[in-house]
């Protein structure tokens, strides 16, 4: 009789060598015939829903014209749940198959006694129990890791998985990759770059080759703002590792990706050409975007007139540059004035320090309460005392509240932590605003406009705009007192 030998282990760390030796000795002893093609030797978890190798064995058995003997070391090497028994039983009932399990001292045929069939079914039952027990242990392990905020899989680009000892693993920030990730978000959040342009800039500035699909996945990954995902259940939870991207930049990038660019509006299409003011200016007559074009190596802008023709005229990019430079010159201040502002801001900061600390303490208490609510929600879900829909609905509500608290806390803490950096930046920008604008590169110039100005429009003759805070104060004081001289 022809024999088919099946040796299986569940993980790559195990091997099938001892099983194969025993099966070959058994087949030779029984006088079975087999070739290399009749030996199935593979790694596959028996409690996976889709057992590809197992299905290959069943297909091969069905191809045989004569009755064959399927030899496995034990019952649990062949199957681990009752879903896999049926195709085996069908072959047994058709008298096309014998089952031989040397280590279980069991041979099963179509006409086997009830005791042998019971022994086989009992082996399958024990295998099912073992599989379910493993599944329960995995679920408990996952639950513990989620509740403690640990990652369930491999960390994304920007982090590295670190093994501290035999049983302890953690995740650390990779400083170089993290800087790449942060730049990707910063560039994309400006609304000035398509994925292909970011791909080229990453290669140029960092010497790193990342595909557009990889960059797109990075931009969608909430892990960078402290939120991990259990993909099998579509469950999100807060992790314990350092964040790389500020949440405001992350969500701005999501707005840009969704076509709701806070700087450029929706429907903006990008090309490879660098037009400084693409998507930054609207027409004062109809409100539609001023669109750039190139004619004879010179760059011009004109209203798209999507809302109807109104005689819009082309304007040279150099004229717009002069208009923007004039806008920046109106917020310029002298060195003496700069030092005076810094001193006044310092006094104001000292006055508000006590109040800020009280706010921070209260927000931290609110944050602890929110985290405890989420922890209790995890317990209720894994204890099956609430449904998945209830769990996801409440989790979304609690996450929104926690995000609000964390953003507020981050902003209050940032006022104290970054006060001098922010003040110095604003003052340096105000001291050299016009020159800084004129000599800045493409992305820096666009960023400066987004930082300082809003509601930028072209009326056919002049550029119209408003200043953002605190630059509106600088502009007003400059015009009323001439303090910038």
Q: Tell if the pTM clears 0.75, that is, is over it.
A: no
Q: What is the pLDDT of residue 347?
A: 62
Same domain (yes/no): 6, 137 = yes
- DSSP-based three-state secondary structure for 394: helix
183 domain-assigned? yes
What is the torsional sign of CA 368, 369, 374, 380? Answer: positive
Same domain (yes/no): 26, 132 = yes
350 domain-assigned? yes
Report whether 456 contacts 449 (CB < 8 A).
yes
Is the N-terminal amide bond of 470 cis, ω within 30° of 0? yes
Q: pLDDT digit string (tens) for 464-483?
A: 999 887 778 777 766 665 54
Same domain (yes/no): 102, 8 = yes
Distance of CA 254 to the CA centre of its chain: 11
Integer Cα distance of 296 and 301 in angstroms: 14
∠ CA(297), CA(299), CA(302), 5° rounding?
Answer: 140
Report whether 235 contacts 243 (CB < 8 A).
no
401 domain-assigned? yes
Integer Cα distance of 97 and 60 in angstroms: 12
Phi, psi values for residue 207, rounded to 5°: 70, 25
Q: What is the 3-state secondary structure (H, E, C) of 430-475?
A: HHCHHHHHHCCCHHHHHHHHHHHEEEEEECCCCEEEEECCCHHHHH
| Mean pLDDT per 10-residue segment, the chain (485 residues) | 88 78 92 92 65 85 91 84 75 90 90 86 76 71 82 91 81 93 88 84 92 93 90 81 87 74 42 69 87 85 83 91 87 72 62 60 81 80 79 80 75 52 59 68 75 88 86 72 50
Q: pLDDT digit string (tens) for 86-110?
A: 888 888 889 999 999 998 899 999 8
| Final residue before a domain boundary, out of 424, 444, 477 | 424
CATH number for position 191: 3.90.1750.20
Same domain (yes/no): 118, 193 = no
User: In terms of residues, how long is the chain?
Assistant: 485
Report whether 4 contacts 78 (CB < 8 A).
no
Same domain (yes/no): 81, 123 = yes
CATH number for position 106: 3.40.50.1390
Put the strands of the sheet holding 298-303 in their side by side order. 290-295, 298-303, 315-316
| Final residue before a domain boundary, out of 233, 266, 299 | 266
Q: Tally the domains of the chain.
A: 3
Report whether 471 contacts 331 (CB < 8 A).
yes
- DSSP-based three-state secondary structure for 80: coil
Query: Closest Cα to residue 116, out of 98, 130, 132?
Result: 98
Q: What is the pLDDT of residue 267?
A: 39
Query: Closest Cα to residue 92, out of 130, 132, 124?
Result: 124
Segment holding 170, helix H or strand E: strand 169-173
User: Which range of residues forms the domain containing residue 373?
Assistant: 335-424
Same domain (yes/no): 178, 258 = yes
Q: What are the structure tokens assigned to 108, written together?
A: 């099963």
∠ CA(440), CA(441), CA(447), 5° rounding?
Answer: 80
93 domain-assigned? yes
Q: Tell me which DSSP letter residue 336 carries.
A: H
162 domain-assigned? no
Q: What is the pLDDT of residue 264?
A: 43
442 domain-assigned? no
Integer Cα distance of 440 and 321 in angstroms: 12
Residues 6+ apart with CB under 8 A from 364: 409
Q: What is the pLDDT of residue 330?
A: 83
Same domain (yes/no): 11, 137 = yes
371 domain-assigned? yes
Q: Give the other-Cβ count within 10 Å of 396's Cβ.
A: 11
Relative to beta strand 39-43, strand 2-9 is parallel
Report whether 226 contacts 239 (CB < 8 A).
yes
Residues 6+ apart with CB under 8 A from 62: 91
DSSP 269-305: ---SS--TTTTT-EETTT--BEEEEEETTEEEEEE--
Helices (H) and strands (E) in the chain, counts: 16, 15
Same domain (yes/no): 6, 139 = yes
Q: Give the other-Cβ count within 10 Å of 222's Cβ.
A: 18
Same domain (yes/no): 178, 125 = no
| Final residue before a domain boundary, out of 248, 266, 284 | 266
Q: What is the pLDDT of residue 261?
A: 46
Same domain (yes/no): 13, 111 = yes
- DSSP-based three-state secondary structure for 8: strand
Same domain (yes/no): 85, 186 = no
Q: What are the structure tokens assigned to 199, written together?
A: 């791909």
290 domain-assigned? no
Q: Tell me which DSSP letter residue 224 carries.
A: G
Distance of CA 202 to the CA centre of its chain: 18
Same domain (yes/no): 39, 136 = yes
Expressed in percent and rounded to 5, the helix, strand and coil fractions of the chain are 55, 15, 30
């Amino acid at each position: 009789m022809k024999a088919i030998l099946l040796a299986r282990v569940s993980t790559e760390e195990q091997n099938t060598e001892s099983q194969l030796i025993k099966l070959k000795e058994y087949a030779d002893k029984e006088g079975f015939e087999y070739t290399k093609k009749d030996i199935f030797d593979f790694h596959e978890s028996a409690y996976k829903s889709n057992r590809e190798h197992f299905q290959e064995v069943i297909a091969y058995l069905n191809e045989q014209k004569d009755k064959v003997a399927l030899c496995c070391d034990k019952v649990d090497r062949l199957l681990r749940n009752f879903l896999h028994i049926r195709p085996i039983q069908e072959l047994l009932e058709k008298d096309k198959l014998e089952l031989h399990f040397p280590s279980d001292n069991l041979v099963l045929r179509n006409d086997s006694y009830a005791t042998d069939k019971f022994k086989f079914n009992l082996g399958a039952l024990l295998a099912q129990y073992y599989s379910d027990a493993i599944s329960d242990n995995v679920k408990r392990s996952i639950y513990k890791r989620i509740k403690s905020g640990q990652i369930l899989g491999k960390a994304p680009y920007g982090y590295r998985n670190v093994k501290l000892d035999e049983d302890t693993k953690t995740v650390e920030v990779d400083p170089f990759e993290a800087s790449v990730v942060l730049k990707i978000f910063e560039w994309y959040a400006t609304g000035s770059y398509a994925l292909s342009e970011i791909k080229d800039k990453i290669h140029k500035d960092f010497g790193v080759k990342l595909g557009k699909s990889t960059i797109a996945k990075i931009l969608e990954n909430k892990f960078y703002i402290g939120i991990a995902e259990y993909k099998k259940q579509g469950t999100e939870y807060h992790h314990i590792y350092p964040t790389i991207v500020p949440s405001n930049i992350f969500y701005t990038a999501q707005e840009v990706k969704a076509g709701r660019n806070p700087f450029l509006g929706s429907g903006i299409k990008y090309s490879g050409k660098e037009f400084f003011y693409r998507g930054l200016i609207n027409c004062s007559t109809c409100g539609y975007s001023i669109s750039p074009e190139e004619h004879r190596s010179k760059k011009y802008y004109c209203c798209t007139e999507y809302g109807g023709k109104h005689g819009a005229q082309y304007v040279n990019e150099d004229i717009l540059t002069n208009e923007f430079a004039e806008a920046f010159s109106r917020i310029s201040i002298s060195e003496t004035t700069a030092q005076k502002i810094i001193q006044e801001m310092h006094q104001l900061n000292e006055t508000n320090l006590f109040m800020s600390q009280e706010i921070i303490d209260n927000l931290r208490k609110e944050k602890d309460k929110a985290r405890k609510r989420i922890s209790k929600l995890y317990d209720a879900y894994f204890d099956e005392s609430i449904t998945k829909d209830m769990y996801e609905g409440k989790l979304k509500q609690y996450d929104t509240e926690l995000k609000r608290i964390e953003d507020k806390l981050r902003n209050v803490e940032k006022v104290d932590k970054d006060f001098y950096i922010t003040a110095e930046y604003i003052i340096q920008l105000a001291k050299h605003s016009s020159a800084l604008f004129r000599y800045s590169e493409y992305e820096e110039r666009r960023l400066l406009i987004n930082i300082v100005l809003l509601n930028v429009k072209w009326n056919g003759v002049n550029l119209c705009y408003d200043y953002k805070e605190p630059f509106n104060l600088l502009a007003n004081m400059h015009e009323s007192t001439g303090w910038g001289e």
